A and B are shown apart, each in its own frame.
Chain A
Amino acid sequence: MPQTTSWTSKHLLDLESLTAEQIAFVLDTADTFAEVSTRSVKKVPALRGKVVVNAFFEDSTRTRTSFALAASRLSADVIDFSEKGSSVSKGETLIDTARNIEAMGIDAIIIRHQAAGSAALLARTVKCSVINAGDGAHEHPTQGLLDLYTIRKRFGRVEGLKVAIVGDIANSRVARSDLWGLTRLGAEVILVGPPTLLPRAFERLATGPGRVRVVHDFDAVCGEVDVINMLRVQNERMKSAQFPTVREFTRWFGLTWDRFQRCKPDVFVMHPGPMNRGVEIHNEIADGPNSGILKQVEYGLAVRMAVLYLTMQAE
């Protein structure tokens, strides 16, 4: 069996810059790490003696926990660093903060930050590995990878599938990472949302082989898709007049019970969490047989183990 690809990057900043082969390599590696979580001793020594910092400048319990667990299953030590709000407002720049963290002898920084490009800024500055756990509205590459992994597990493939991503696309880093990953692996992506939250420019983002469609009518496409990824409705965005009310949003872009009845019977429903039940997704759908939401969380661990392992071993 020829193994032509390998992993050489010590950072994971985005999915945009990864090839289909590199993405598949991470997913294949994640398969291996999924096995580790089934053992009675759920731990391997691959990163023993290494130190990982969870640097979260924005709240995210689940992503932080998932990364922390992934790192500890690889035997790395995990340090939590959280600071809410902009570092600028505290008088210390992100670069200074990062240099200070790195000076403590850190091997990888996992960064979640409200500013797009902050992970790239960090990677330019520090010598250790940088893993982007979400930078503003730019990318959330491990979420993208775990979405791909979940879809691949369900269908055995990604290529040729039709995947709808629904909601506030403009402000979503998950949508961007999913878009790059899905199109690289050959899925067709249908972005669904109101024009105020879904600019036409998205249609020109794909670089194949899969293509992207921008659609403002959920009903027109819900029956043709294999996967629906419902994004979280951000209430604060609703207030900034990009959409009139949450109620109106649900009516046109929510996965309601009625709309669900018009989907394919085996449609696979995903959500990056945390969910607003009854807003973007109907309660029974979230908990029903079509839902992959808890699988996403489960697989996220294996994917993040793979990412930590690959980036921290790369030279």
Chain B
Amino acid sequence: MNSLLIQNGTILDPSRGLEMRADLAVVDGRIVATMPAGVKPDRVIDAGGCLVVPGLIDTHVHFREPGDEEEETIASGAAAAVAGGFTTVCCMPNTKPALDTEAAIEFVIRESERVGLANVLPVGAITKAREGRELAEIGSMQARGAVAFSDDGTGVNDPSVMRKALQYVKMFDGLIMQHCEDHLLAGGSMNGGLVSTRLGLVGIPAEAEQLMIARDVLLNRLIGCRYHVQHISTAHSVELVRRAKRDGIPITAEVAPHHVLLTDEACSSYDTNYKMNPPLRTQADVEACIEGVVDGTIELLATDHAPHLAEEKELEFQYAPFGIIGLECALGLYVKALVTPGHISWMKLIDMMSTAGARLIRSDRGTLAPGAVGDVTIIDPNLKWKVDLSEFKSKSTNCPFVGWELIGRATHTIVGGAVKWELR
């Protein structure tokens, strides 16, 4: 019998709306109400002054395996995840080749188990090779453990393909995660607007994102497939999701840390660590995303952790790849963006970083209820720390937040009752 006792912490469990000073015990990988009588725990963690929360869940990461293992692997990505307090992550299928078969899904699950750090759950491709033309083997992938379907990196541009995807995924009661960007309207390297005009860079207009959300909402109106907007970034996108929810259309949305913290002004020095897709938008968009978080339009806080090698990023802005890493600083960033200014409570933050993610992918995690899997994150909410590249477990360093002073950090990440990472 393996047992772990977490003492003196404050338990925060959004799944039950529970906030209380109490000890938490995990026995044989499961949370128990009380430590069985006569059992001396194998390990005791003093969580005094800390929050004890359900393990954080990130529904949007890129681990680059197979294909670009020099940027990130499932092993290095999982190490980065637990270092950031995440016990479960959903990895996107834009690998080389894409995760578009049952075998590929099986590979990710097995590799995740072999590594034995965070739970790495695969998201399968909607279309074969993510080309947007023919549906992939969605049913088989779901049966093997794919938690959702997405062509992330691109949206499904052809409306007839998207319509079929919604219908088909609905048959399995599956979940579509859409990278909302009409690529015919996009094609630039940063947000289209004043700053791109100044810098002479081709813009990605906000309408490219809004167009696809609006189209999908229309297509899904009569189909009713579970539909999730990935990395939402514009003010009107938030409004489109809000209206769709009001109209009773199944839709959820996630945001990434940079879209509630940075604006396209950051691109002014052509620093490619500010190049991501969707791009950094304007202050009005940042404010609208925060408002969407506050009013529940946006239910999830993800990272869109997208590793790239330094040499790939050290290019002319328009040639550099999109994306930044985020797993290891996301918690502190969200605290800075949302909790410290008083937009949301810690309870809501943990809901959006854990419980809501579990709800989305229909996982039994994201809770500290007795009997649940022992995925627990201990957070010191007052710990001041500085984002330091040398501490990163990720293989890549493309992070614009290096040097930022943050407050709040995971001190222990416990997966299935075992401590997989602790702050030293």
Contact = CB atoms under 8 A, between A and B. Distances in A.
Q: Do chains A and B touch in the complex (CB under 8 A)?
A: yes
Interface of A: 16, 86, 88, 93-95, 113, 115-118, 120-121, 135-139, 170, 173, 176, 199, 201-202, 204-205
A136 B199 CA distance: 9
A86 B319 contact: yes
B200 A135 contact: yes
B199 A116 contact: yes
Interface residues of B, number: 17
B363 interface: no
A121 B313 CA distance: 11
Interface in B267-318: 269-270, 311, 314-318
Interface of B: 193-194, 197-202, 269-270, 311, 314-319
A117 B201 contact: yes
Contacts of A201: 193-194, 197
Contacts of A86: 319
Given A116-B270, A120-B270, A121-B270, A205 B197 contact: yes
A113 B317 CA distance: 12
B197 A116 contact: no
Contacts of A204: 194
Contacts of B316: 88, 94, 113, 115-118, 121
Given A116-B270, A201-B194, A205-B194, A95 B199 contact: no
B199 to A, nearest CB: 6
B318 A94 contact: no
Contact of A93 (B202, B270, B311): B311
Contacts of A16: 198
A170 B314 CA distance: 26
A128 B198 CA distance: 26
Contacts of B269: 120
Given A93-B311, A117-B270, A121-B270, A88 B200 contact: no
Contact of A116 (B311, B315, B318): B318
A138 B202 CA distance: 10
A160 to B, nearest CB: 25
Given A88-B319, A95-B314, A173 B194 contact: no
A138 B199 contact: yes
Contacts of A139: 200
A202 B197 contact: yes
B280 to A, nearest CB: 15
11 contacts: A86-B319, A88-B316, A113-B316, A116-B201, A117-B316, A118-B316, A120-B270, A121-B316, A136-B200, A202-B197, A205-B197
